[in-house]
A = this chain, B = another copy of it.
Amino acid sequence: MSLAEEWWGTAVSRVEPGVIELRGHPIQDLIGRLSFVEMIWLLLRGDRPSPGQAALLEAALVASVDHGPQAPSIAIARMAATCGVGLNSAMASGVNALGDVHGGAGQQCVELLAEIVASGGAVEAVLADWRDRGVKYLPGFGHRIHDVDPRRDPLLSLVDAAVRDGVVGGEYLRAARALADALAPVPMNIDGATAVIYAELGFPAPLARGLFVLSRSVGILAHAYEETQQGRRNKSPLPPSMLPPYLG
């Protein structure tokens, strides 16, 4: 292998004339046989999920697609879509906002759950440690809008079933429930529930953010496209009619 090939070497894909292999599989063997979610798993991890694993991942991806136009990622994409850029750039603008605060809670919660599991369930000690480190917003708990996030319990029920069926081990679910007990009455939120799924499925923490991005990109696209159909140009955050008369 040449230096050039080595520098850009990858285990993800191989491309030659007439050949596209993804994680070692010719693409023509995958089209029509693999679901999109199975492809996501394959590309990120190199192996294929069992049906039960794929179903859990599918549920997490379905749950996070959208949380309304007041979410900054969605609002940004809608505004960008009125400024004369392609849909890809409008989407990029939205995705770019899914940073540590907006898109990182799942990743941080996977890390938190992993610490609890590694500590043998010493929830209070782990919490003390996080607070010592100055963490003010514990990931996966609390919400500005929902007392009980309607996405949480359906997801946790699916994890419960998956534990019963031996699809996943359940240790991260138990850690999350112990954490919820310790933090009551602050409720577990969607990031907590999806973190349980991603952790149970064995995804490393950074991919919890990556998977959230894939999911939320669907809502970002739906909103950006809808906005382009409304004909506005240079959409501002406030409606012109709400601004002082001089901007009316």
Q: Which positions in A face B, CB cutoff 8 Å?
A: 2-8, 10-20, 22, 26-28, 30-32, 34-37, 39-40, 43-44, 55, 58-59, 61-63, 65-73, 75-76, 78-80, 82-89, 91-93, 95-104, 137, 144-151, 153-155, 157-158, 206-207, 209-210, 213-215, 217-219, 221-226, 228, 233-244, 246-247
Contacts and interface: CB of A to CB of B under 8 A. Distances in A.
Contact of A100 (B75, B86, B145): B86
B72 A97 contact: no
14 contacts: A4-B238, A36-B62, A43-B219, A71-B236, A72-B79, A72-B83, A80-B99, A82-B101, A88-B96, A89-B99, A92-B93, A214-B214, A214-B217, A217-B217
B84 A19 contact: no
Contact of A238 (B66, B73, B151, B238): B238
Contacts of A80: 72, 76, 96-97, 99
B79 A104 contact: no
Given A85-B88, A207-B225, 8 more contacts: A8-B70, A12-B219, A12-B222, A16-B247, A30-B62, A69-B237, A88-B99, A237-B238
B147 A242 contact: no
Contacts of A224: 210
Given A5-B244, A36-B37, A96-B80, A66 B12 contact: yes
B150 A27 contact: yes
A103 to B, nearest CB: 5
Taken together, the copies of this chain in the complex come to: 4
Contact of A99 (B20, B84, B247): B84
Contacts of A8: 69-70, 75, 78, 237-238
A210 B12 contact: no
Contact of A234 (B18, B101, B209, B233): B101
Given A16-B246, A237-B238, A226 B11 contact: yes
Given A158-B32, A214-B217, A225-B210, A13 B238 contact: no
